[in-house]
Amino acid sequence: MAGCPSGHIRQPVRISAFLVVESHRRLGRANDRVRVPRQYWARRPLVNLLLSLLVATAIGVAANAGRRRKLHESNLRLVAVLYSQYLAAHGGETPRDEGDFRAFVHSLGPAVLERVGLAGLDELFVSRRNGQPFAVKYQGGGWALDGAIAHEQEGASGTRYVATELGGVSEF
């Protein structure tokens, strides 16, 4: 290698594909065939692998989002949210019975039910999956599910939706 005026030895410099193309464009040789260094092509399998992983992740997320959407379309989701609001409004005390809970929901106004496409209170307490009423936790009743406030009495396809005290819905 030839030395430079300061006496240092020149080291070979790796040139990126971008710099090669950019220098050809600046020199007016944009239409000339550009030789891209080998290092760029050596990385191509890695890029393909990363793109494949990204696509696979996107497909998995989309499939999971479809399942979540079903849970949120359930009336039980709204029952859980309204139940949590009842607890907050009444100092953590559970409703005495279904009539007490219905009166609270009715006091919130019809817009609450209309936003989720329900015509009335009767539709709220019935599962869309099987047409059966939900079992809801009230005062004085023996409730076996700790942390749950409501659930489907009869599930569908071997599973049931269960609403928790925090307002979430899970499928079991």
77-125 pLDDT, tens digit each:
889 889 888 988 999 899 999 999 999 999 998 888 888 888 888 889 9
Q: How many domains does the chain have?
A: 2
- Same-domain status, 50 and 24: yes
What pLDDT does 118 receive?
Answer: 85
Residue 150 lies in a domain: yes
What pLDDT does 31 receive?
Answer: 55
- Same-domain status, 109 and 59: no
Burial string for 93-128 (b: 16+ CB within 10 Å, else e) reads ebbeeeeebeebbeeeeeebbeeeebeeeeebbebe
- Same-domain status, 63 and 46: yes
Residue 90 lies in a domain: yes
- Same-domain status, 32 and 80: no
Residue 5 lies in a domain: no
72, with CB counted inside 10 A (0-12, 13-18, 19+), is: exposed
- Same-domain status, 46 and 112: no
Beta pairing, strands 134-136 & 161-164 = unpaired
Rounded to an integer, what is the distance from CA 91 to the centroid of its chain?
31
- Same-domain status, 145 and 125: yes
Distance CA 153, CA 172 (A): 12
- Same-domain status, 118 and 104: yes
Distances (CA, A) of 168 to 14, 36, 113: 56, 55, 18
Residue 120 lies in a domain: yes
- Same-domain status, 25 and 48: yes
- Same-domain status, 81 and 155: yes
- Same-domain status, 120 and 158: yes
Residue 4 lies in a domain: no
Residue 28 lies in a domain: yes
- Same-domain status, 58 and 79: no
pLDDT digits (tens, 9 = 90+) for 146-164: 889 999 888 777 888 899 8
Q: Which domain holds residue 130?
A: 74-171
pLDDT digits (tens, 9 = 90+) for 55-65: 777 776 655 55
- Count the Cβ atoms, other than its own, within 10 Å of residue 36: 13
Closest CA to 97 of 125, 139, 41: 139
Residue 165: CA atoms inside 13 Å, Cβ hemisphere, count?
11
